[in-house]
Structure 1
Amino acid sequence: MTTDLETISMLRDSLERYTADHYNFLQRARRLDGPAGFDPAIWATYAEQGWLSLRLPEDLGGLEGDAVAVGAVMEVVGARLLMEPLLGSAVLAPGVLLRQGSEGQQAELLSAMAEGRLQVAFADCGLDAPACRYAGETLVGEIPLVLNGDSADLFIVPALDERRQVVFCLVRADAAGVTCKAFRLVDARGAASLSFEGAAVTLLQPEDDAPSAAETLGQVRDEAAVALCAEALGVASSLLRVTNEYLKVRQQFGKPLAANQALQHRMADVYLLVAEIRALTRAMQQAMTLPSDERGRIISGGRAYVVRAARKVGNEAIQLHGGVGVTEELDVSHYFRRLMVNAVLHGDHDAQFSRFVEHSLAD
């Protein structure tokens, strides 16, 4: 851990207080129909509060937050079902730029991102080799799903060059040769599929002492997995809380459902699952400081388990609520849909488990 506990606590508390006042379930519901899928005024407030500077170094006015600090923010993202592109534009894209961008590129882009003037999406598709090809200063390829790609101004796209080496390309959303098809995901967040047909791009130019692009891609993918597990922890913790409250107030045959011993046992199982998700997420956050092979085994195994465990928590929450649990008017269904979407982002369960097996056999 590099970020001190006091800073992490202040970061979490400030975001929790703001979202409690301005982002409850009904306030969030009124923003879902906006053209961007979220409220630009909220995004501007995030910038004013410094939350978009989470990953930036201190000399750029940032917090230089590590995986634990990022996790504190992502837990609130999950608990409040925030719609804004914090994962892509405040966590993953800055991570790529800080490792692979030149001083000029960092100065130009990071400040604009921290001030909320520029939204950047990390356009990657799972754990396989990059799907796009870079040749002759142009980009060719397709990416079927980019979270918040519908509202992004700029994309960071990993690609393979003519030597099949990984490079990172900067692509403007409105550039010639870029086709962006926007759509809404099942949890109502915005996304896009991207097609590049000879699109003119700018390569990130790493400094001499920078890690390789392939190493950076692996590390950023691990950061995505850890951040998504922290978000799943926020979702699962909220589902545990709201389900427990529901069982205490819902009456059947003159008694609250919580008096039913069978339901008590099921809630105990849910509590244990949430505790396991929390323990694995903390272990994954600490593993981000380890060498790539050891880090990869812990993170891919943890991510695969968290996806399954969180899905089980969601299933139990809906079943214990009964038919009302799947309605649009209840937050339980929205939490469940967020878990479904996050489960396939940046490497689904099967891809993560396969990677875990490969690392384990290698050891």
Structure 2
Amino acid sequence: MDLTLSDEQRMLRESADRFVTETYNADHRKRSANDPRGFSADIWKQFADLGWLALPIREDHGGFGGGAIEIGILMEAFGRGLVSEPYLSTVVIGAALIAECGSEAQKQALLPQIADGSLYLAFAHSERQARFDLADVKTTAKKTPDGWRLDGHKTAVLDGHAAGQIIVSARVDDGKLCLFLVPQGAPGLTSRDFPRLGGGRACNLDLRDVRVPADALLGDGSDALPAIESVVDRAMAALGAEAVGIMQTLLDQTLEYTKIRKQFGRPLSANQVIRHRLADMAMQCDEARSMALRAALMADAEPLARARAASGAKAKIGKCARFVAEQSVQLHGAMGVTDELDIGSYFKRLLAFDTLFGGSAHHYRRYAALGGRAVQT
């Protein structure tokens, strides 16, 4: 198998690396953190100008038709820069759900708006009792003479407070899981937003007698669970690439620090035990990179192979990320937890990664279950 990047993919990587190095600096991160939305609209406009928002969207809907590999290249760069813009929620998840489930009219209306940066999306699916089970949804959708009535609660909706449209999952009368477009500020929709660990914001949603028109239903009302599972598996592959970017940055910064930090007249890196730790960190980074790449390569495979690749990557990268983050903080000593360095911020982002869509323990169980093995809880 040829794993070398194409010329277009190399150009994308160079463009993303240049953006993170030259444009998205600490001042931008601080301004994004202080913005009530948790991100910068100016940076989002630059994403649109660079074509990144249109990257995975099909050409006949105003995009470039990129795949999971291209998304992974971008997300790895975003990890190195601690980018907090809502790329995952709007482009990786939101646009994909519309492409998978929406009618042709909905695709033509919404996907070009995502590509040009004028529409933010969020996916409201997780519920408190679900514990990362994508099929466990209690929110209901009742048919009314003029549309639908939604009732339920959603937790940890990424960037939901800033989304123009929120894609809400709900059970209809026949038990099928369907998706509905709910505009921000709809009567009966209550949002309570909060800062996310490591940057960005999320919110909890209450839906009480929320009325939406008939065309708010995405697609023809078919069961959306297979599409949700597919999109979430792709999102985990993208998150894995982001985690790899963070881990590599922690390794690079720690390596540099141990070269200049002296103890008893010698740099820390002169000690063999420190070199062993750095070597272990490098090995964990390479293992995580391999798993993220495998998940991206399997993103369009048949459902069982795709799901096992995604869960395997999420479980393995979660363990590798924690090891690299903890070693980085420890080797920096007290400096590792101060605001003077970004080490703590990268650590927090990796902790957030481990909980999104389920931690390592959850995905080890899912991986085993998909393989037909008995799983001990």
Aligned residue in 1 for 2:63 = 62
Which is further off, 11-20 or 175-184?
11-20
Aligned residue in 1 for 2:96 = 95
Following superposition, the deviation at residue 296 of structure 1 comes to: 1.3
Match for 2:140 among 122, 133, 138? 133
The reply to whether residue 203 of structure 1 matches residue 210 of structure 2 is: no
Which is further off, 236-245 or 187-196?
187-196
Is contact 1:133-1:139 (8 Å) kept? yes
Aligned residue in 1 for 2:162 = 151
Aligned residue in 1 for 2:354 = 343
Is contact 1:150-1:191 (8 Å) kept? yes
Aligned residue in 1 for 2:74 = 73
Following superposition, the deviation at residue 332 of structure 1 comes to: 0.6
Taking the aligned partners of 1:5 and 1:47, their CA distance within structure 2 comes to 22
SS of equivalent to 1:138:
strand
Is contact 2:259-2:269 (8 Å) kept? yes
Report the AA paired with residue 205 of structure 1.
G
Change (3 A) 1:223 1:296: same
Aligned residue in 1 for 2:36 = 35
Report the AA paired with residue 294 of structure 1.
A
Is contact 2:44-2:85 (8 Å) kept? yes
Using structure 2 for the length normalisation, give the TM-score. 0.91
Following superposition, the deviation at residue 362 of structure 1 comes to: 5.4
Report the AA paired with residue 301 of structure 1.
G
Aligned residue in 1 for 2:305 = 294
Following superposition, the deviation at residue 354 of structure 1 comes to: 1.8
Report the AA paired with residue 251 of structure 2.
L
Residue by residue over 1:315-358, the C-alpha shift from the partner in whole angstroms, topping out at 9 and shown as x without a partner, is 00000000110112211100000011121112232322221121
Taking the aligned partners of 2:260 and 2:178, their CA distance within structure 1 comes to 56
Report the AA paired with residue 179 of structure 2.
F
SS of equivalent to 2:285:
helix
Is contact 2:20-2:78 (8 Å) kept? no
Residue by residue over 1:102-129, the C-alpha shift from the partner in whole angstroms, topping out at 9 and shown as x without a partner, is 1111111111111111100122223332
Contiguous gaps of at least 5 residues in structure 1? none
Taking the aligned partners of 2:149 and 2:373, their CA distance within structure 1 comes to 37
Taking the aligned partners of 1:132 and 1:344, their CA distance within structure 2 comes to 22
Which is further off, 23-32 or 62-71?
23-32
Is contact 1:127-1:351 (8 Å) kept? no
Change (3 A) 1:300 1:227: same
Is contact 1:89-1:121 (8 Å) kept? yes
Is contact 1:99-1:206 (8 Å) kept? no
Is contact 1:324-1:330 (8 Å) kept? yes
SS of equivalent to 2:259:
helix
Is contact 1:131-1:143 (8 Å) kept? no
SS of equivalent to 1:167:
strand
Aligned residue in 1 for 2:129 = none
Aligned residue in 2 for 1:283 = 294
Is contact 1:139-1:196 (8 Å) kept? yes
Using structure 1 for the length normalisation, give the TM-score. 0.94
Which is further off, 250-259 or 350-359?
350-359
Aligned residue in 1 for 2:327 = 316
Change (3 A) 1:49 1:21: same
Taking the aligned partners of 1:194 and 1:335, their CA distance within structure 2 comes to 28
Which is further off, 192-201 or 77-86?
192-201
Is contact 1:124-1:346 (8 Å) kept? no
Contiguous gaps of at least 5 residues in structure 2? 127-131
SS of equivalent to 2:191:
strand
Aligned residue in 2 for 1:241 = 252
Aligned residue in 1 for 2:8 = 7
Number of aligned residue pairs: give it. 360
Taking the aligned partners of 2:91 and 2:56, their CA distance within structure 1 comes to 7
Which is further off, 230-239 or 288-297?
288-297
